[in-house]
Structure 1
């Protein structure tokens, strides 16, 4: 059986990806703070399983317990392939350096950087132990390559994920795993609502994001998930690369 692990599966891109992979006959293991009943319905409609692990990924103990629970579940199954989509993330703090809230910075780095690394390490270890192929997708952002006032922490975290993806891919060599980062562009999600609510003093470019919403230029999470699914199944993948939605959205 093919199992897909998705962090932050209760809403946004995580929810859309879970639906898309369920519809394609995969079994989903979702990790988030809240349960999404719609995903259970989609799973039943497609005769596959949906297992949800309630977890605050900014809490170290909860994260470790969740990884152990995932291991216990998977080792009882006939695993033919594993997919890990490191999707959970946050944009706060949106603030200039010198005015950053330290506890928020700590939570941000934990969720956006440490958790994807820990999950990748754990699931890659299982894939190697069980000799099954792994598809690892780290959700990144164009912010990793830009200098945007107010986004020092977010940009730094996504840049770290890009480099982590590249190094992990290089280490794996020809083991048969697929390891990429995926940049979904500007999506119509709750994170974008947080961005638009920022003050101009904290985030100089806030008006640009408000205009994107007003002009209907935000991409739906369903569309972003569809492009990712087609990209992985139809493109010759170069491991370690950052794949950007806008390079493929017209193709798929």
Structure 2
């Protein structure tokens, strides 16, 4: 029997009209659609494609067993997620081995801080796997700001706010342009790190980039609690003609 293919499809930052033509086609034609979500939530990836799926599509929700309930440095965190990804991989591989194609919905780009990467590394070499790139959330965020992100020889650094405060401050200080992702409950720590780097006047916070509820504010004006997928930006000011 011919094997099916597991497609990791990048959905972009959150608007249906920012999907690529290939992503749009695969999503609309898919008989099997898989997506990650937190238990009890519809899932952001699934929300993006609302109204696009065929009427007989079979949906496979992959619900995280843990998100923020266990600290990242606790060995139980990795062990729990490892079991989860192994189980999700086996379910997808089983469908592919039966000849079925599966589309895995991926926010942003599948290979950029995405959960699909954990499936890809487990599936590769066992069943056919395809990847459709998507516009990243950070690209949607700096477009929302209405200002170029990098000029000339600017160095762009991408960080996650989950890093230790000292590491954040050092890297923020040493770069020209900056993107910080996965902010969520780390906003207070990030504020301190930006201030320690002396760059608080340059920092912007973008929430829900490219979505109807998009919001762009100066970091100093942001509320104490922000969505987990908010993105902080510092624009480069480098060489230009």
More strand per residue: 1 or 2?
Answer: 2
TM-score (norm. length: structure 2): 0.40
**Greater length-normalized contact order (CA 8 Å, ≥ 6 residues apart):** 2
| The structure with more radius of gyration | 2
TM-score (norm. length: structure 1): 0.39
